[in-house]
Amino acid sequence: MAPQVVKLYTNKRERELVDYSADLFAILKTTEKLERAYVRDAISAKDYESSCTKLLAQFRTLCTTLKGQVPDVAKFARDHNMECPAALNRLISSGMPATIEHGKAGSGTTAGSGSSEVNVASTVQYYIGAMDALKLDMTATDEVYPLLSDIMQSLHKVSKLPPEFSGKVKLKQWLSLLHSMPASQRLSQEEVRQLLFDLESSYNDFISQLGM
């Protein structure tokens, strides 16, 4: 007697849902392994940050696609008997790599290195680029998040800044807010105005801190 074949889908839409669900499962498992590797010093901060940033971007895009079918990712994990607390914390609660959240740059550079001037110049460029993009009406979550993430990562590479530099605090708040929003959602006029104000204030403080 031939074994019975169990069909996971009956049409194209159901097949896509199965494929996307498999992608979500894979992202959760991969992120959990990545977080454990980072905690155990089995991966460098630089490689961790790069991989985590990519997973976060994939997760946000996938969540937008599956919003109607998978409104609760934590429940999805429970329903599939997944033990991935670190992944859920990173992907849902935090929304940014641990290196950014806790201010440990993954640049591989050290204080006093010859690249300090390059880091400062890059940070200035990222600030100006983000403010210009907002003024050009690039206000969707998936457009703004990478711009702010670039600034945050670059700030962590500037060793002269104090650990609790106000710009980092504000950026972290904005990154957390954007992480909770769908990728296609646009910032309101009030939010854009506030973000521009925060970026300009942070930029001026950055310049002041470095005595430029």
For residues 178-194, give the mean pLDDT: 90
9 pLDDT higher than 80: no
Under the banding of pLDDT at 50, 70 and 90, the label for residue 48 is very high
Under the banding of pLDDT at 50, 70 and 90, the label for residue 64 is confident
What distances in angstroms separate CA 203 from CA 94, 118, 128, 199, one per listed residue? 24, 16, 9, 6
Under the banding of pLDDT at 50, 70 and 90, the label for residue 169 is confident
99 pLDDT higher than 90: no
191 pLDDT higher than 90: yes
109-142 core/surface letters (b: 16 or more CB in 10 A; e: else): beeeeeebeebbebbbebbeebbeebeeebbbbb
Under the banding of pLDDT at 50, 70 and 90, the label for residue 108 is very low
For residues 61-89, give the mean pLDDT: 90
Helix axes 141-156, 189-209, angle to 10 degrees: 10
Question: Rounded to a whole number, what is the distance in angstroms from the first to the last CA of the chain?
Answer: 81
4 pLDDT higher than 90: no
pLDDT at 11: 67
Per-residue 3-state assignment (H helix, E strand, C coil) for the chain: CCCCCCCCCCCHHHHHHHHHHHHHHHHHHHHHHHHHHHHCCCCCHHHHHHHHHHHHHHHHHHHHHCCCCCCCHHHHHHHCCCCCHHHHHHHHHHCCCHHHHCCCCCCCCCCCCCCHHHHHHHHHHHHHHHHHHHHCCCCEHHHHHHHHHHHHHHHHCCCCCCCCCHHHHHHHHHHHHHHCCCCCCECCHHHHHHHHHHHHHHHHHHHHHCCC
Q: Which amino acid is at 93?
A: S
Worst-scoring range by mean pLDDT, 119-133, 168-182, 188-202? 168-182
Could you read off the pLDDT of 195-208 as tens digits, one per residue?
Answer: 999 999 999 999 99
pLDDT at 195: 97
Distance CA 209, CA 168 (A): 13
Under the banding of pLDDT at 50, 70 and 90, the label for residue 100 is confident
Q: How many C-beta neighbours within 10 Å does residue 200 have?
A: 12
Worst-scoring range by mean pLDDT, 24-28, 141-145, 153-157, 161-165? 161-165
For residues 168-174, give the mean pLDDT: 90
pLDDT at 7: 58
What is this structure's pTM?
A: 0.68
